[in-house]
A and B are shown apart, each in its own frame.
Chain A
């Protein structure tokens, strides 16, 4: 089962590598990972999407929590009120002819995606949504144009409702 693990940890040297190392060491998989600072400079937040069964996810959170730098761990999808998750996608496509450029533009309108860079031959499209929606968007784009490059940010998520991950 897919889970979104949110981790608050001390913003220290090597803290991220400890988390990543733990996943490989214990044989847990990482589907996506994203990391960044929080409103408090001394704390970073990592979001990891992993696939595991029910027992394993409990082991994973316990093991992560055991890392000395880790302050809090939460499984976002286990939150009662659910969670909001987004990922950002950039896709660079060949857009040399008028019909293709028109088609791409209208697809972007339908999906609420944006065209963020334009050259005579290329478009860069930006799309923010859930991982599943991004997969769908990418599938449609691939059918319409030649994709040169894609990049995804990894999932970033937050619990809905009152639950807040802070110290």
Chain B
């Protein structure tokens, strides 16, 4: 039997769970844990410059790999600095474990130095949370936290560890746990109801104007291969939410592009005129439905999701199926074979004919000129130069929508973006997490001059840990998306969105020890992108001046149905 302190048990448990990278920042309450980490051969510590960065890195790591991302921060401000990142992960159902230091148990509740009620503050934005009462709780809670984070509908879990629980002088018997975690109050549903699946398969095969709608749940549930096979089998048009991009190949002819507020015209029109929506791993949030009462008036809705609370929350499902996306789709193939269901020939021919007419509108077309770079051009240039194979992280705003619309993702886990919470400052640390998880893959960040400055300090982390991500700043000297709304809906009154006091981003990059490239002319764009990507072992910031007045279009009209969109400028 091994005798270990609480801190050592914490480290050992993480090792037993296979953790190789731990993002974090030290501080008073976690001194003993960081001390114990010195002895670990397995766990590499990635020390950020701000705890928000650490937690976003763990998030990016999780999105890129599907593994649980883990970070460790100190009590008080260390914990509160992770709050935005925890909420980001919660909204997008990302498996993440956040270990926070806490003041010693005798001091809890006394307003001690660097004390906050971490469990209380994070309660509405976690899947679950734990406050350790003794050292012996640590291995149990951490194992449960990893299990909860990754199973069912994934999400962030907080484990709050008071300082006295990790006292190096108090040793306890430690026995590695081999048994899988079991909890009587938590049993996520895996398989769908067989009868429902049979009925749904029949509905799908008989539909005349079906649309397959996929979301983040397909990525999280690793259900991409089955989604592809099913779309192929019935020749289904497929559209995706922001979070689902990559789960179905963006270059496949079945793919209509993203739907929703900034979706494509063909995707939104197809939804609007559809008679059956086959929705997998989506939650029908307000950015895709437009006006709920006018949402897809002629469609029946089949809704598959692992979280029963997501079904019929905003849009009523005609046929709900609760279960893991991959497992349920597996059942579909059984049901299809059993009932010998085939593609609905003639009906689909005319449906596709109609869809091609919508597609022919080329709603994403934009005009270029010799003077100013268009933001869309930047995404397309990077898409071409990376052959569509890079992992792309984004921040939030216009550049995020342009990335979603113009970078065609053919594989899941390639697009890391804050969809639910819309967190500016998410992209850069997420890209770092992804690069650390996938060192052999090209990782690019699309960011804006606004967003990038929200976590710019992590440039230092990248130098220390040699993280050569490629950063493309779509620099339009404004908060583009807010400006777009001011232009379109606020009578053109520009309030507080100009960014006229930006630093010289190239100089900033160099000051942090990285490379920087400035681009202004459309003719220089491709070359600059290629040059940046060719520098393999260094981080490169490419500051690209682009058109301030470009808008993300098409855009749904408020109060309208799915297909009611502003089209050309």
Which A residues have a C-beta under 8 Å from some C-beta of B? 9-10, 13-14, 17-18, 21, 25, 55, 58-59, 62-63, 65-66, 68-71, 167
Contacts and interface: CB of A to CB of B under 8 A. Distances in A.
A167 B184 contact: yes
A68 B131 contact: no
A10 to B, nearest CB: 6
Nearest to A13: B131
Contacts of B178: none
A92 to B, nearest CB: 32
B109 interface: no
B489 interface: no
Q: How large is the interface on B (under 10, 10 to 19, 20 to 34, 35 or more residues)?
A: 10 to 19
B309 A68 contact: no
B183 A68 contact: yes
A68 B128 contact: yes
Interface string B300-324: 0000000111001100000000000
A18 B148 contact: no
B89 to A, nearest CB: 16
Given A9-B185, A68-B186, A69-B185, A62 B123 contact: no
B124 A25 contact: yes
Contacts of B123: 14, 17-18, 21
B124 A21 contact: yes
Contacts of B184: 71, 167
B127 interface: yes
Contacts of B127: 68
B524 to A, nearest CB: 50
A69 B127 CA distance: 11
A13 B141 CA distance: 13
A14 B158 CA distance: 14
Given A10-B185, A68-B128, 10 more contacts: A13-B131, A17-B120, A59-B313, A62-B309, A65-B309, A66-B307, A66-B309, A69-B128, A69-B185, A71-B184
B366 to A, nearest CB: 41
B119 interface: yes
Contacts of A13: 131, 133
Nearest to A72: B185
B185 A68 contact: yes
Interface in B180-239: 183-186
A42 to B, nearest CB: 9
A16 to B, nearest CB: 12
Interface in B125-168: 127-129, 131, 133, 148
Contacts of B129: 14
Which of B183, B185, B308 lies at the interface centre, i.e. has the most chain A CB atoms within 10 A of its CB?
B185
Which of A17, A25, A66, A68 lies at the interface centre, i.e. has the most chain B CB atoms within 10 A of its CB?
A68
B309 A70 contact: no
Contacts of A25: 124
Contacts of B131: 13-14
Contacts of B313: 59
A132 B313 CA distance: 32
Interface in B262-316: 307-309, 312-313
A167 B129 CA distance: 23
Interface in B96-133: 119-120, 123-124, 127-129, 131, 133
Contact of B185 (A14, A21, A70): A70
